[in-house]
Amino acid sequence: MDTMEIDDTIYVENHLITQVNFHRRNRLLRRVTVCLGILCAALLFSNIGQFIFYESDRPASAAQTQASYDALTQDKETLQNDKDNLTAARDRLQSSYDALSEEKRRLQTTLSDLTKERDELQQSCNSSITERDEMKAGLSRVRKERDRLQTGYNNLTAAAEQLQTNYSNLQRVKDALSTLITALRIKEVQLESNYTSLKREKEQLQISHNTLNRSITQINTSYNSLWKDKDQLQTRYNTLRKEKEQLQTSCSRLTAAGEELQKKINKMTAKLRGMPCQTHWTKFDVSCYFVSTLKKNWTESRRACIAEGADLLVIDSSEEQLFVNGLLDKGQSQNAWIGLTDSLAEGVWTWVDGTPVTTAYWLPGQPNDFKNQDCGEYVSSDVGSWNDDGCFAVQHWICEK
């Protein structure tokens, strides 16, 4: 604040000094101009006075007049020179005046700028003063705060000392606890290890337990299933046993009946073998055979056999196969229908009495079902063989009864 005030005073003094010098110069110029004006007026009045004086002394001599005239002329020249000098001096003074006026304007401009700057500085100074006052107030508050903090610091120092004492006590307790914790940690590690081992054993035991449980469940299930199967088997066994006993009884009865029937069959067979066949029929074993002289298709041929109480030939044995070959004319390779057909199921050959064909005597490459051949014929040759032919073909046939 003091520095700002001093600077401001210096500024004001400098400004005043400059302003005073300027006013002094101006007054001096005015005085010189006034003096020059007065001097010119005095010279003019002097000339006028001389002229009046000389006009009043006209009776003087011409020489004196001439002398006076010369003197006046000389004075006039002198005055003219003085006037010129004064004019030159006035011009120089005017130039100085103009320069000084210019400098004055410049100085006035500078003064205006300086005034403005001074006002700004004054404003800044005021702001600084205000700020300084605020800072002083703040400083006062800070000092109060410092005092309060100092008090608090003292209290805290006392508390810190108390805490230090407590800390030392706690440090001793902490050391004791640390030793205890270390011992407990060692114990904890051992317990952790034991716990891990036990946990692993428990998991293995749990796995074994689960496996055993599953096995027991499966065994129970299997046992129950087996028990049920056993009951069912026992029931079936009892049933089968009863059935077996019944069958054995039936079998015994049937065996006895079969034996009885066999005896009857043997008697009948012997009787049949001994019975002669009708005219145009040929005897072999227990059957009689007829080879037609007419020709018909397979269906009509079978109908003709049935009309005679017979049916188309059924070959039951190789002996019969050979016998039939002897019935036909081998030299002309004679064909004749026999009781063989696959009209019910293609490729499944059956005899007209419903029995399946167990032993066949097909010619090589037969049966070939050429153009849907479904009926069997006997083709005579050295051994005789079979062929499938179209059922609507017309040819001889062989009956058997």
Q: Which DSSP symbol is given to 370? A: T
Which structure tokens are listed for 296?
A: 């018909």
Stretch 130-169: interaction string toward Ca ion, x if CB under 5 A: ----------------------------------------
Alpha helix (H) residue ranges in 275-313: 298-307
Among residues 297, 321, 341, 387, the one that binds Ca ion under rule CB under 5 A? 387
Q: Where does 63-125 show beta strands of DSSP type E?
A: none
Distance CA 218, CA 221 (A): 5
Candidates 278, 369, 381, 394: give the one binding Ca ion (CB under 5 A).
Answer: 369
Which part of the chain contacts Ca ion (CB under 5 A), choosing from 107-115, 121-129, 169-177, 384-392?
Answer: 384-392
161/369 with CB nearer Ca ion: 369
- The residue (of 79 and 287) whose beta carbon lies closer to Ca ion is 287
The single residue among 121, 286, 316, 385 that binds Ca ion, judged by CB under 5 A, is 316
Pairing verdict, β 375-379 and 335-341: antiparallel
**Close Cβ partners of 59 (under 8 Å, ≥ 6 residues apart):** none
Query: How many residues sit in the footprint of Ca ion (CB under 5 A)?
Result: 10
Helix (H) / strand (E) element for 284: namely strand 282-284
Q: Is 111 in the site for Ca ion (CB under 5 A)?
A: no
254's tokens: 């049937």
Give the list of residues 6+ apart from residue 395 with CB closer than 8 angstroms, or none. Answer: 295, 296, 335, 336, 337, 377, 389
Among 314, 357, 391, 393, binds Ca ion (CB under 5 A): 314
Smallest distance, Ca ion to C-beta of residue 312, A: 10
Q: Residues 312, 400: contact at Cβ < 8 Å?
A: yes
Region from 108-116, 234-242, 263-271, 386-394 binding Ca ion, contact rule CB under 5 A: 386-394
Smaller CB distance to Ca ion: residue 97 or 349?
Answer: 349
Nearer residue to Ca ion within complex by CB, 304 or 374: 374
371 contact partners, CB below 8 Å, separation of at least 6? 390
Region binding Ca ion by CB under 5 A among candidate stretches 113-121, 133-141, 214-222, 371-379: 371-379
Can residue 342 be called a binding residue for Ca ion (CB under 5 A)? yes
Specify whether the CB–CB gap between 53 and 67 falls below 8 A: no
Residue 374 lies near Ca ion (rule: CB under 5 A): yes
Q: How many CB atoms lie within 10 A of CB 62?
A: 8
For Ca ion, the binding residue among 388, 396, 397, 398 (CB under 5 A) is 388
Separation CA 16–CA 167 (nearest Å)? 75
Give φ, ψ of 212 to 5 degrees: -65, -40
CB of 225 to Ca ion, least distance (A): 52
User: Hey, is 291 helix, strand or coil?
Assistant: strand
Interacting span for Ca ion (CB under 5 A) from 4-12, 178-186, 200-208, 315-323 = 315-323
Using CB under 5 A, list all residues that contact Ca ion. 314, 316, 342, 366, 368-369, 373-374, 387-388
